């Protein structure tokens, strides 16, 4: 009888989550949501009549899904299950097919990025950001998360919510370096958010962290300069796409 009681307690504890313990391995699904109408309006300033004419033909939001597998020393972020089709106007984002491997021990990153017709393999150190922690909290996928804010590309504001119950300091795209896993990320100027829809406490194996595909080897700085030069005649569209390739 005593053995049965102990067994039931263990099962109930596992079923209600392991809050109060640290989660060191598993799989996270993120929904990346783009406010399509807001993006169209931002980049159609010179032709607002065009925006008013076509916005009714385009869904207001576009959702795609990404998976992140992780353990104590590494993570891999890649496209997940099928989401919404690309918006009819504006095409797909350069970041739609990003695959990012992060070695949390050596603090190195490998990122495979398709930027229009060309593939790049970014190899660099983890992004360093001057994260500023805020006393604001919210619950995401069942985990209490704390707010942090930072800047990329000199002026682009980033908001993150991380869970210290999941210590590996990784997250969507090339973001991380916080005292826990990022479960929500927002870049207001890109009208884009990534929100964890679920955290699965599953075993992971080496095969889960393999990257498939090849690309031109560059550092983050070299990619930035290449895209900046390639898109120099694109005006405001160039700026947005440079930000997207810098994720």
- Whether 5 shows a pLDDT value over 50: the answer reads no
Q: For 30-48, what is each residue's pLDDT tens digit?
A: 999 999 888 877 765 556 6
Q: 15: pLDDT confidence band, cut at 50, 70 and 90?
A: very low
Q: How far apart are alpha carbons 67 and 213 in whole angstroms?
A: 17
Q: How many CB atoms lie within 10 A of CB 154?
A: 5
pTM of the predicted model as reported, rounded to 2 decimal places? 0.87
The mean pLDDT of 207-236, rounded to a whole number, is 86
Between CA 124 and CA 108 the distance in angstroms is 6
Integer Cα distance of 242 and 226 in angstroms: 10
Mean pLDDT of the chain: 86
| Tokens matching residue 16 | 């209600």
Q: Are 27 and 221 in contact (CB under 8 A)?
A: no
**Residue 196 exposed, middle or buried by CB count within 10 Å (0-12, 13-18, 19+):** buried
Q: Using one digit for the tens of pLDDT, what is the confidence trace for 149-180?
A: 999 988 999 999 999 999 999 999 999 999 99
Exposure on the CB side of residue 153, measured as CA atoms within 13 A: 19
CB 34 within 8 A of CB 61: yes
| Whether pLDDT at 235 is above 50 | yes
Strand, helix or coil at 112?
Answer: strand
Cβ atoms of residues 92 and 188 within 8 Å: no
pLDDT surpassing 90 at residue 240: no
Q: Reduced to 3 states, what is the DSSP secondary structure of residue 245?
A: helix
**Cα 51–Cα 53–Cα 56 angle in degrees, nearest 5:** 95
The structure tokens listed for 39 are 């993006």
What the block records as the tokens of 123 is 């190899």
Confidence band for 147, pLDDT divided at 50, 70 and 90: very high
């Amino acid at each position: 009888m005593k053995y049965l009681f102990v067994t039931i307690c263990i099962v109930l504890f596992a079923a209600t989550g392991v809050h109060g313990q640290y989660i060191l391995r598993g799989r996270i699904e993120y929904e990346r949501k783009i406010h399509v109408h807001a993006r169209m309006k931002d980049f159609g300033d010179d032709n607002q009549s065009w925006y008013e004419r076509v916005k009714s033909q385009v869904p207001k939001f576009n959702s795609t899904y990404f998976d992140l597998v992780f353990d104590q020393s590494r993570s891999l972020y890649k496209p997940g299950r099928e989401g919404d089709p690309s918006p009819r106007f504006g095409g797909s984002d350069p970041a739609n097919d990003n695959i990012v491997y992060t070695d949390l021990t050596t603090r190195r990153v490998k990122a495979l990025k398709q930027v229009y017709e060309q593939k790049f393999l970014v190899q660099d150190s983890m992004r360093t950001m001057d994260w500023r922690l805020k006393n604001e909290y919210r619950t995401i996928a069942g985990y209490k998360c704390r707010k942090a804010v930072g800047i990329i590309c000199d002026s682009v504001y980033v908001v993150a919510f991380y869970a210290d119950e999941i210590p590996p300091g990784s997250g969507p795209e090339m973001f991380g370096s916080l005292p826990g896993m990022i479960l929500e990320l927002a870049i207001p100027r890109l009208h884009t958010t990534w929100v964890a829809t679920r955290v699965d406490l599953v075993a992971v194996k080496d095969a889960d962290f393999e990257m498939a595909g090849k690309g031109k080897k560059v550092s983050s700085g070299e990619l930035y300069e290449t895209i900046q030069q390639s898109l120099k005649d694109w005006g405001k569209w160039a700026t947005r796409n440079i930000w997207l390739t810098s994720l």
